[in-house]
């Protein structure tokens, strides 16, 4: 009896092999049930209905498993998944090495064992192609500009890759055909086992021998393998029904049966708990795959106590339904995301097309306008790359639409810049001329005048416009070098000029003191000559610090004026002397523009005075001889105007002399520099 209990435990542990590929012969089951007594018949019918209800769920899950495989295959075949994963061990292979490995795996190994390697190599091949393409594109943009585009070039090795992948698909198809034949043979074997189990219930052999035979049949059942999917549920229902009938017909004791059913219940509770834990996992796809494994294990387990049968099945079914629902929602969400991505990409296509329409209407004519439009296109391309995948059936359509619009833009832009190529070359020649002029000026030491010329050259440079890109940096460095050479030399010069300014300051302060201390002699001519000597010495000393210039000039002018007052010189002589001192100050600071401005002012005043004289002389003819007082006043005004003109002409002579001296000095400096 103990041996029978042991054998029974082993039997029930391996017995109810609920393989997904099992089937039943329902007509024979119905005949067996009809021959039973009414009470037993009702019990058997309930069991069959319970089994049928359970397998409706299995059929749903099996069909969803096929759908999952199809979805996964779609994702794998999509071009957008080429960059999703890569195998590190293939990253350094060339295209030829990749193709050789593919040939080896496809023609010299078991393709089922090396599926992943084959797919990884295929992905890596296109990664290498993409790297080559990016390198070519970067080289093109280095010479043609950042906006240049390049279509993926054809590669002779790709045809060989396609031949290998076609061979791979043919081998897969042949493998699947062979598997279907094997499944049909497995179906035949399992149906034979079911028939043998049916006969065991009526066997007259001993209990031990009967259980041993059942155990052997169960082991053989488990070793057979899968059957066609459309027969799986049917053969399994028949198998489980025969196992349950075997227990009933051999009249196993309630104690032994309850023990076995309890053990099955514990194992199924454990499966329920594991299925419920899957609901907490973040990766729903992985959870769904795991659920398939749990369903396979469930089929392998035997029956549970009748009062727990529906409860435990409902618990397992509930967890399964929740996981299946989450799995479906996951793919629905992916579908919605793809639709949203599709709408975003359509919007980008429309924006590029709007830019093309704007170009057609407004016909931009400046590089700045094209640069702004190019920036918008490039920004749209960046946004495109950040958007995820779209539905497979519209992927090519929307991509071609966007690419075509972008290509059209860059073609129009290329045509525009081809037309202005002559302008760029003209700009280059102008900037070359500026570089030559800057290089001629860079060693001059007439700092103020040369600085003005350099500033003018820089202004012209900015106004010219762009040059061909390949010359842009070179021509700019040449011009910049000449500018830096001059301004660095100027800065170095003015670093050492402070001491000279201080020396001039001391000399002018000493001269002012000498003028203040001057005592007039009795010889008027000597006194005037001394004053001119003071003025000439003042002009020869040179510049002083800016903050002291006005103070010194005012002190010197005051001292000279005091001497003039002591000499009782007329007002005009004093004004001429003061004017000469002021012009000397402008001359010593090389302010030729200020001298020119002073000349213009004098010429304008002379013209005004001449006009006044003509007007007054014209008005004289309107007065009779009885208007002597008025005539006298008019004549006085004429004389006054003529005296002022005379004084202005004296000033103009001083200006002419100062201007000639300045120009002569500057020309001499230029000759020394050259």
Using the predicted structure, report yes or no on whether residue 621 has a pLDDT greater than 50: yes
3-class SS at 442? coil
Using the predicted structure, report yes or no on whether residue 481 has a pLDDT greater than 90: yes
The residue-averaged pLDDT of 599-620 equals 85
Nearest to 487 by CA among 544, 434, 432, 441: 441
Among 124-133, 206-215, 661-670, the range with the most confident prediction by mean pLDDT is 124-133
Q: How distant, in Å, are the alpha carbons of 128, 357, 361, 373, 384 from that of 354?
A: 36, 5, 11, 11, 16
Using the predicted structure, report yes or no on whether residue 136 has a pLDDT greater than 90: no
Q: Which two tokens stand for residue 408?
A: 């059209």
Structural contact between residues 164 and 99, judged by C-beta atoms closer than 8 angstroms: yes
Report pLDDT digits (tens) over 161-194: 899 999 989 988 988 888 888 989 999 998 898 9
3-state secondary structure 602-618: HHHHHHHHHHHHHHHHH
Cβ neighbours for 152, distance < 8 A, ≥ 6 positions apart: 129, 133
Q: For residue 235, list its beta bridge partners.
A: 23
Q: What are the structural domain ranges in the chain?
A: 2-252, 334-416, 422-496, 507-673
Structural contact between residues 567 and 520, judged by C-beta atoms closer than 8 angstroms: yes
pLDDT at 50: 43
For the chain, give the mean pLDDT: 77
Percent of the chain with pLDDT over 90: 6
pLDDT at 156: 82
pLDDT at 30: 38
Q: Which two tokens stand for residue 367?
A: 């590089």
Q: How distant, in Å, are the alpha carbons of 50, 81, 134, 418, 532 from that of 23?
A: 16, 39, 57, 76, 135
Rounded CA separation 166/169 (Å):
5
The residue-averaged pLDDT of 280-297 equals 87
Report pLDDT digits (tens) over 63-98: 333 333 333 333 233 333 334 344 446 778 888 888
- What distance separates the 2 farthest-apart alpha carbons in the chain? 177
Confidence tier at 332 by pLDDT (50, 70, 90): confident
| Choice between 593 and 69, residue whose per-residue pLDDT is larger | 593
Nearest to 572 by CA among 658, 656, 646: 646
Confidence tier at 154 by pLDDT (50, 70, 90): confident
Rounded CA separation 381/375 (Å):
10
Q: How distant, in Å, are the alpha carbons of 375, 376, 379, 413 from that of 382?
A: 11, 10, 5, 19
Confidence tier at 408 by pLDDT (50, 70, 90): confident
Rounded CA separation 544/499 (Å):
10
Rounded CA separation 259/270 (Å):
17
Structural contact between residues 24 and 241, judged by C-beta atoms closer than 8 angstroms: yes
Least confident of 469-478, 603-612, 623-632: 623-632
Nearest to 284 by CA among 251, 316, 314, 329: 329
Cβ neighbours for 337, distance < 8 A, ≥ 6 positions apart: 388
């Amino acid at each position: 009896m103990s041996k029978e209990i042991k054998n029974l435990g082993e039997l029930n542990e391996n017995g109810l092999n609920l393989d997904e590929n099992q089937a039943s012969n329902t007509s024979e089951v119905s005949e067996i049930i009809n021959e039973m007594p009414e009470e037993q018949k009702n019990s058997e019918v309930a069991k069959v209905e319970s089994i049928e209800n359970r397998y409706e769920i299995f059929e749903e899950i099996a069909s969803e498993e096929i759908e999952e495989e199809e979805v996964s295959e779609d994702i794998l075949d999509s071009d957008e998944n080429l960059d999703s994963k890569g195998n590190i061990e293939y990253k350094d292979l060339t295209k030829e090495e990749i193709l050789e490995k593919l040939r080896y795996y496809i023609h010299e190994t078991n393709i089922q064992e090396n599926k992943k390697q084959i797919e990884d190599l295929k992905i890596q091949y296109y990664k290498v192609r993409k790297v080559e393409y990016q390198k070519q594109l970067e080289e093109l943009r280095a010479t043609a500009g950042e906006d240049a585009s390049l279509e993926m070039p054809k590669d002779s090795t790709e045809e060989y890759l396609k031949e290998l992948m076609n061979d791979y698909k043919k081998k897969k198809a042949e493998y699947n055909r062979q598997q279907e034949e094997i499944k049909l043979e497995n179906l035949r074997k399992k149906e034979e086992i079911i028939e043998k189990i049916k006969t065991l219930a009526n066997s007259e052999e001993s209990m031990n021998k009967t259980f041993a035979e059942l155990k052997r049949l169960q082991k053989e059942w488990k070793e057979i393998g899968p059957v066609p999917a459309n027969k799986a549920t049917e053969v399994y229902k028949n198998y489980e029904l025969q196992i349950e009938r075997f227990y009933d017909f051999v009249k196993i004791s309630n104690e032994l049966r309850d023990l076995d059913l309890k053990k099955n219940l514990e194992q199924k509770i454990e499966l329920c708990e594991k299925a419920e834990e899957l609901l907490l996992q973040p990766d729903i796809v992985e959870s769904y795959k795991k659920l398939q494994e749990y369903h396979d294990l469930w089929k392998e387990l035997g029956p549970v106590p009748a009062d727990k049968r529906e409860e435990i099945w409902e618990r397992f079914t509930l967890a399964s339904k929740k996981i299946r629902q989450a799995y479906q929602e996951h793919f629905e969400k992916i579908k919605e995301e793809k639709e949203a991505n599709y709408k975003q990409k359509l919007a980008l296509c429309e924006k590029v097309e709007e830019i093309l329409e704007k170009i057609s209407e407004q016909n931009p004519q400046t590089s700045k306008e094209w640069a702004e439009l190019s920036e918008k296109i490039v920004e749209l391309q960046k946004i495109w790359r950040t958007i995820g995948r779209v539905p497979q059936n519209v992927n090519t359509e929307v991509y071609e639409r966007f690419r075509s619009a972008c290509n059209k833009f860059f073609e129009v832009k290329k045509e525009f810049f081809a037309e202005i190529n002559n302008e760029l070359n003209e700009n280059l020649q102008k900037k070359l001329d500026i570089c030559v002029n800057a290089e001629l000026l860079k060693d001059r030491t007439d700092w103020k005048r040369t600085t003005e010329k350099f500033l003018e050259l820089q202004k012209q440079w900015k106004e010219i416009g762009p040059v061909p890109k390949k010359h842009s940096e070179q021509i700019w460095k040449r011009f910049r070098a000449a500018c830096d050479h001059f301004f660095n030399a100027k800065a170095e010069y003015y670093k050492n000029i402070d001491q000279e300014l201080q020396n001039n300051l001391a000399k002018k302060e000493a001269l002012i003191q000498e003028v203040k201390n001057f005592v007039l002699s009795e010889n008027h001519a000597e006194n005037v000559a001394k004053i001119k000597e003071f003025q000439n010495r003042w002009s020869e000393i040179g510049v002083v610090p800016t903050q002291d210039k006005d103070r010194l000039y005012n002190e010197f002018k005051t001292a000279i004026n005091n001497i003039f007052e002591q000499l009782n010189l007329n007002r005009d002589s004093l004004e001429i002397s003061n004017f000469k001192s002021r012009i000397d100050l402008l001359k010593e600071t090389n302010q030729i523009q200020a001298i020119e401005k002073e000349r213009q002012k004098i010429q304008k005043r002379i013209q005004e005075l001449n006009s006044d004289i003509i007007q007054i002389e014209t008005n004289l003819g309107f007065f009779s001889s009885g208007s002597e007082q008025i005539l006298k006043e008019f004549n006085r005004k004429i004389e006054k105007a003529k005296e002022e003109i005379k004084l202005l002409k004296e000033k103009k002579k001083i200006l002419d002399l100062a201007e000639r001296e300045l120009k002569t000095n500057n020309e001499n400096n230029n000759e020394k520099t050259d």
